[in-house]
Amino acid sequence: MTNRQRIAVLGATGSIGDSTLAILAAHSDNFDVYALSGHQRLDKLLQLCQQFNPARVCVPVDKVDDFAAKLAQAGLDSEVIGGPAGLDDIASDSQVDAVVAAIVGAAGLSSTLKAARAGKRILLANKEALVMAGQVMISLVKTHGATLLPIDSEHNAIFQCLPPSIQQDNTQIHKSSYGVRKLWLTASGGPFLQHSFAHMQQAGVAEAVKHPNWSMGQKISVDSATMMNKGLELIEACHLFDLPEDKINVVIHPQSIIHSMVEYNDGSYLAQLGSPDMKTPIAHALSYPERIDSGSQPLDLFALSALEFIAPDLQKFACLRLARQAMQAGTQATIVLNAANEIAVEAFLAERIRLTDIADINEQALSQVKVASLTADASIDDILAIDDAARRYTQTLIGQMAGQIAGQMV
């Protein structure tokens, strides 16, 4: 690669953080780890600081002093800053070339928008930012000359299967000469694909977060079990590729070898294949338009017995249906769905509700939280006000439900 890039990894202690830093460590000639952030597991963040010696580190506000003391003890002089303001500061730091947006949930929104406003190269894992603020995000990227590279594996696959002119300007997808007819998002179906709804109702946390093909953080693992993840990805794809939801199909492909497809009007389907390893899309985005070794295992084509494709069951995986419904209703609805889902997933992880309650809670929030439609020029405050209303509604609903559900849980 030509120039050594300075990288900020926001969410460095998570699963995407791990995969990203493994690649950065293997390519230290090309990349300098300029900044890191972590919210929990600060002992792990300390080890990462010892390994990469970043110029700046962001931790929760109340941990800044303690973390700075630990760094000093270790003989490191990284600057320690705190909280959401610290994340925003790193995302817009003039020294940073690329921001890896790998914080989970709404907590990643502000810094991702800051990176867009600062015209950075953004490697986006935090799909919730697009679900909450897709239009605002895409418009900031365009106005400020930022580059948005998806690292969610499905979106990265679609990006790779599109011609360079659409990669550079998503509105070009509408030009009939490019012939894009549809996008196909593949889904593994998660740990309950082969189980009944009744089985899902009784599933505990350990079973729900045990994904058959991917090793990921807890929230996205639960989202995969309910297929809310594919719903969020559907909304993410609408924004990234400037298409309505009815141009994007979802197909269950349990082997997770084809990571998604573009269907062209001459009957061609272009697909990206690879081992289910996030290092591949991350390496693609880090080095785009060049290619570097990601360290992922080559695909053993001879060991693949079959590639299956199954239509999703929208009764069992109602969250997928809700995502389409919310996308049709508008951004205010996708914000409500995302917020309700984050609260419901937390409640499931805390064993307050059952896995299958998540879809019911999300559906109730969508129909009951009354918010005005958002216009394309909505401010972040408008977005956060809706997010907050949906969170408060959902907390109350779960409070009411939890008592009744406790009696039914085994």
200 CB-near residues (< 8 Å, 6+ apart): 192, 225, 316, 355, 356
* Interface of this chain with Mg ion, residues 139 to 158, rule: CB under 5 A: 152-154
Q: Which of 7, 17, 324, 352 binds ligand NAD (CB under 6 A)?
A: 17
* H-helix or E-strand spanning residue 372: none
Burial class from Cβ neighbours inside 10 Å (0-12, 13-18, 19+) for residue 331 reads: buried
236 binding Mg ion? (CB under 5 A): no
- Which of 26, 107, 243, 270 is close enough to bind ligand NAD by CB under 6 A? 107
The three state secondary structure string of 160-202 is HHCCHHHHHCHHHHHCHHHCEEEEEEEECCCCCCCCCHHHHHH
Instruction: Build a one-symbol-per-residue string for 311-350: x at contacts with ligand NAD by CB under 6 A, - elsewhere.
Output: ----------------------------------------
Q: Which of 40, 51, 368, 408 binds ligand NAD (CB under 6 A)?
A: 40
Residue closer to ligand NAD, measured from CB, 246 or 388? 388
Among 67, 90, 146, 152, binds ligand NAD (CB under 6 A): 152
DSSP three-state, residue 142: helix
CB-based contacts of 176, cutoff 8 Å, min separation 6: none
Residue (39 or 127) nearer to Mg ion, CB: 127
Contacts of 144 (CB under 8 A, 6+ apart): 116, 117, 118, 119
User: Per CB under 6 A, does 124 bind ligand NAD?
Assistant: no
Return all residues near 408 (Cβ < 8 A) that are at least 6 apart. Answer: 354
- Residues 6 or more apart whose CB falls under 8 angstroms from that of 78 comprise 49, 53, 54, 55, 56, 57, 71
Task: Report the distance separating Cα 202 and Cα 368, nearest Å.
Answer: 27
CB nearer to Mg ion: pick between 153 and 272? 153
Minimum gap (Å) between residue 44 Cβ and Mg ion: 23
Q: Which two tokens stand for residue 96?
A: 């940073």
The least CB distance from residue 39 to ligand NAD, in Å, is: 3
Between the two ends of the chain, the Cα-to-Cα distance in Å is 56
Query: Which residue among 96, 180, 216, 283 contacts ligand NAD (CB under 6 A)?
Result: 216
Which listed option, Mg ion, ligand NAD, none, makes contact with residue 278 (CB within 5 to 8 Å by class)?
ligand NAD
Gap between the Cα atoms of 111 and 117, Å rounded:
10
Q: Does 220 bind ligand NAD (CB under 6 A)?
A: yes
Span from 11-19, 115-123, 259-267, 373-381 in contact with ligand NAD (CB under 6 A): 11-19
Can residue 104 be called a binding residue for ligand NAD (CB under 6 A)?
Answer: yes
Amino acid, single-letter form, for residue 174: H
Q: CB 145 → ligand NAD: shortest distance, Å?
A: 24
For position 277 contacting Mg ion by CB under 5 A, the verdict is no
- CB-wise, 180 or 390, nearer to ligand NAD? 390
Shorter beta-carbon distance to Mg ion: residue 37 or 126: 126
List CB contacts of 230: < 8 A, sequence separation 6 or more: 185, 187, 224, 250, 312, 317, 320, 323
Interacting residues toward Mg ion by CB under 5 A: 152-154
Interacting residues toward ligand NAD by CB under 6 A: 11-17, 38-40, 102-104, 107, 125-128, 152, 214, 216-220, 278
